[in-house]
Structure 1
Amino acid sequence: MKKITSRTIVCFFLALVLVAGTGIFTFKFFVEGDTWSAFSANRHLYTNNVLNTGRILDETGTVLADYDDTNAKWEYSSNAYIRKATLHAVGEPTGMIGTGALTRFADKLTGYNVITGAKPIFPGGRDLYLTLNAKVCEAAYKALNGHKGTVGVYNYKTGEIICMVSAPTYDPASPPTIKDGDDEYEGVYINRLLSATFIPGSTFKLITATAALETLDGVENRTFHCDGKTTIGNQLITCPRAHGDLTMEQALAVSCNCVFGQLATEIGSSEMQKYAEKAGLTDSLSINGIKTAKSSFDFTSGGKGGLAWSGIGQGKDLVNPCALMVYSGAIANGGSTAKPQIISHTAFTGGVRTSLYLRHHTHNLINAETAATLATMMRNNVLNNYGQGNFPGLELCAKSGTAQNDASDSDNAWFTGFLQDQDHPYAFVVLVEGGGSGSKVAGKVANTVLQAAVKSN
């Protein structure tokens, strides 16, 4: 009797394990089946490890990549500039670029579904429409003018990324032989907008300003003084010149290190960490399943001096460009913004849509009242420092940044912000590695790209 009881318990336990395992498998099948199907070993979809079906198009219907059955290879745009500009979005057949559609969205290109799997009800590949505008990406690539860096522009109302360019890049129609240590192609497989982090320079003062407005009573009405240098803790904080007496708004416009170093120490390390997290910088965004790199900070090491430099955007600060672009979008949109996406939709070759992508929004990255104040300050930056004449026809709100570059003697140039234009609600980020001046170099790139974006819509 005892043996029967013991065996019954064992059988019952094994049955539970079987049920649980079946449940887990079923759940993972529905959640991850598309990834399983798109694995490169699937000979239904791959020829010599190359995906063999589908087309990739931009938002206007311009073909960016198309599989040629006759020659058994992918054909790209006839425009060499567009091929280079969209490389990190489209990808290349070998899968070296992890953010490319050929790698990340293979299931969308094949028409995978959970019922019939890799052999869809209606055979043949699918058209994958990206949110990108190829002409805007081309303008961004040309504007970078051979520099390494990245340009991102997205609609903060809808989340559509219309420009995503990363350099260095190459022509996928004629890929070069890249050797280890080749400086020309250093980091060529990395999408700098999504997958990298950089010292943000003075663009991080937007976060410090947010924290100051919300934690330091009356900070907007205070007057600060800058002699061109000041000692905080055991660190010498310097500015390019002595700014004299100035308000916080004026300090943001001239990007005064002395004032923002002082503000950071008044705010404190724990609050600075809190506001970096609230801004979404330390989280990873999901761009249609592509995870962005997380920004990182250390507000505690180095004492007050280290905290001052971190509040200025130097020290150990590392920021992901896409996260900074999204934060600019949140400022423009009153605190919350649409989450960025790169897929517009999929369709049959005839144009009939086969998918629908819903918009999603972030939580409040910044309080609405603070966002309005900061937007006014960023508009003042353009009017009273960068020069409205450098951005004709654009109601631009922006913040520049110049940051140390460990790989070059020249500083990295940053420019981020948004348009106060309901017809063109674009937020943007520009990083020009080794470019030097943020407003002059990265600002010029931003103007070129935004003019193209406004003209294209």
Structure 2
Amino acid sequence: MKKLEHRAIICLLIAAVLVIGVGIFVFRFVTQGADWATYAYNSHIFANGELISGSLYDVNGTLLVGNKDGKAAWLKDAAARRAVAHAVGDSKGNVATGALSAYQDKMIGYNIVTGTYSVTGKGKDITLTVNKDISRTAYNALAGRKGCVGVYNYKTGEILCMVSTPSFDPKNPPSAAKAASGTFVNKFLRGTMTPGSIFKLVTSAAVIENYDNYQNWSYTCTGSRTIGGQKVTCTQAHGRENFSQALANSCNCAFSVLTQKVGASVMKDYVKKTGLTEAYDIDGITNARGTFKFPAYEPLSLAWAGIGQWKDQLNPCSMLVYLSAIARDGHGVEPRFIHSSGSEGKTTDQMIDASTASTLRRMMRNNVTSNYGQANYPGLEIYAKSGTAEVGTANPTAWFCGFIRNEGYPYAFIVCVENGGYGSTVAGPVANTVMQKVVNTESARTQ
């Protein structure tokens, strides 16, 4: 009798193991089936390691990469291929955020019922939001310098441009050993960099909403300010300036005072509130989270953090969403990478008050008219903030970000030129070149 009991227990254990095993298999089949079926040696969807099922198009219907007579066909313009390399990706999967990697199962048309079988035998075509002509303009404007350029529609959320350099030809990608550092990194989506003074747009929002006397506040900048025996420095002595003038002059000394007035706790709240420490789901691709520290017990470090230095690390895509909140009365728009004709974008939670957004717009417009020079952006009603980020002993990194409010052109932009020099001088002209192309391209498209 005991032998029968033992055998029964053993049978039950075996049955339990079988059920668990089947359960694990089913779970993995549902969650990982696409990876199994889209293995590179599956010859009816790959040829010589390149995907030949489905195609990727830019927003205007130009083929970026796809299937032609059983072979992978790439965009013919080599400069344009390099410009969109980080958006499209390559056959070897070097760019994890590239569409070829992120949307491979969609292009093949995989599902758990039919697997990779396609009735047409051609897979699925996907239209991305990027514009290859605008991307090429941005790539050329960077002129071989390291950095990134991002542009998106702050009504629909569609990303028109996500250019990152150094780049490569996705048709003939270099080996990892031969590629320059950062070649395969989409800096717009996955990079985090010291923001410098463009971060003052976040500090400004915190000041407007938490410092009651900011409208009557003023400060006399002598070129430096001593905190705990060490100095916060400016590029020059700005003299007497109010809040708006301090932003236009990008006065470090003034913003060190303002950061201390609002305090570390408020600054921590605002990098979260404005989405800079969050990651967005961009049609299945996530961007990097920014990281910031505001030490209440270290006044000098807190001051530098509010200026956009110390340990601040900002992701350009997240900053673009915050810029959209300034343009849209406090609600940002989540970015998108797959084109959907005529649809409005998904709005974020309210990042800042509508009145705060209005005040920041006035200040950003004043930055242009009083400091950067409207003549440098002909025909564009541009609202902007420059930044010059100190990065150790190397040349500073130049930033320029903002948006335009020309009728019918709701576009926000961000430009980063690594080790390039001063923000408005170096990154500003890149922004102008790109945004002129954006307006001209969209104007021609809608006529």
- Same-fold status (TM-score > 0.5): yes
In the alignment, does 2:411 pair up with 1:426? yes
The SS at the match of 1:401 is strand
2:303 is matched with which residue? 308
Per-residue deviation, 1:68:
3.7
Identify the match of residue 386 of structure 1 among 365, 372, 381: 372
Aligned-CA RMSD value = 2.9
> Residues 11-410 of structure 1: matches in 2 within 5 Å?
18=19, 22=23, 33-35=33-35, 37-40=37-40, 42-70=42-70, 72=71, 74-176=72-174, 179=177, 185-300=180-295, 303-344=298-339, 359-406=345-392, 409-410=394-395
1:455 is matched with which residue? 440
Mapped to 2, the partners of 1:136 and 1:129 lie a distance apart of 16
Mapped to 1, the partners of 2:261 and 2:36 lie a distance apart of 52
2:445 is matched with which residue? none
Q: Is the 8 A contact 2:157 2:335 kept in 1?
A: yes
Q: Is the 8 A contact 1:46 1:52 kept in 2?
A: yes
Deviates more, 1:195-204 or 1:38-47: 38-47
Identify the match of residue 421 of structure 2 among 431, 436, 440: 436
CA deviations on 1:162-191 (whole Å, 9 max, x unpaired) are 0110000122334445646x6xx2210100
Distance 1:11 1:376, change over 3 A: farther
Deviates more, 1:294-303 or 1:222-231: 294-303
In the alignment, does 2:367 pair up with 1:412? no
Mapped to 2, the partners of 1:15 and 1:424 lie a distance apart of 62
Mapped to 2, the partners of 1:109 and 1:174 lie a distance apart of 21
The SS at the match of 1:418 is strand
Distance 1:118 1:396, change over 3 A: same
Per-residue deviation, 1:363:
1.3
The SS at the match of 1:262 is helix
Amino acid in the other structure paired with 1:149: G
Distance 1:174 1:26, change over 3 A: closer
Q: How many residues align?
A: 441
Mapped to 2, the partners of 1:149 and 1:278 lie a distance apart of 27
Mapped to 2, the partners of 1:200 and 1:44 lie a distance apart of 47
Distance 1:427 1:39, change over 3 A: farther
Per-residue deviation, 1:31:
6.1
Mapped to 1, the partners of 2:193 and 2:218 lie a distance apart of 32
Q: Is the 8 A contact 2:264 2:296 kept in 1?
A: no
Mapped to 1, the partners of 2:409 and 2:25 lie a distance apart of 45
Amino acid in the other structure paired with 2:138: A
Q: Which runs of 5+ in 1 are unaligned?
A: 346-352
Per-residue deviation, 1:377:
0.8
Q: Is the 8 A contact 2:155 2:345 kept in 1?
A: no
Distance 1:246 1:29, change over 3 A: farther
Amino acid in the other structure paired with 2:372: Y
Per-residue deviation, 1:110:
1.2
Identical positions, percent: 44
Amino acid in the other structure paired with 1:134: K
Q: Is the 8 A contact 2:91 2:170 kept in 1?
A: no
CA deviations on 1:106-163 (whole Å, 9 max, x unpaired) are 1121122343221134432222211111110010001001100000000010010001
Per-residue deviation, 1:12:
11
Mapped to 1, the partners of 2:316 and 2:297 lie a distance apart of 25
Mapped to 2, the partners of 1:268 and 1:28 lie a distance apart of 49
The SS at the match of 1:363 is strand
Per-residue deviation, 1:344:
1.3
Mapped to 1, the partners of 2:47 and 2:334 lie a distance apart of 35
The SS at the match of 2:349 is coil
Distance 1:361 1:15, change over 3 A: farther
Amino acid in the other structure paired with 1:259: A
Mapped to 2, the partners of 1:32 and 1:259 lie a distance apart of 54
CA deviations on 1:334-391 (whole Å, 9 max, x unpaired) are 111221111116xxxxxxx9xx988422111222221111111111111111111101
Q: TM-score, normalised by structure 2?
A: 0.90
Q: Is the 8 A contact 2:34 2:110 kept in 1?
A: yes
Q: Is the 8 A contact 2:134 2:437 kept in 1?
A: yes
The SS at the match of 1:193 is helix
Distance 1:244 1:125, change over 3 A: same
Amino acid in the other structure paired with 2:275: G
